[in-house]
Amino acid sequence: MIDKKTIQNIAKLARLKISEVEADDYSQQLTQVMDYFERISKIDTSGVEPLVTPAEIEVHWREDVVEQEHTAEDMVANAPARAGNLFKVPPVV
Whats the size of the chain, residue-wise? 93
pTM over 0.85: no
- For the four alpha carbons of 49, 52, 53 and 58, in that order, the dihedral sign comes to negative
Tens-digit pLDDT profile for residues 16-66 = 999 999 999 999 999 999 999 999 999 999 998 888 787 877 888 888 899
Q: Average pLDDT of 60-86? A: 89
What φ, ψ does residue 33 adopt, rounded to 5°?
-60, -45
Integer Cα distance of 58 and 5 in angstroms: 50
- Residue 72 pLDDT level (bands cut at 50, 70, 90): confident
Q: Identity (one letter) of the amino acid at 55? A: A
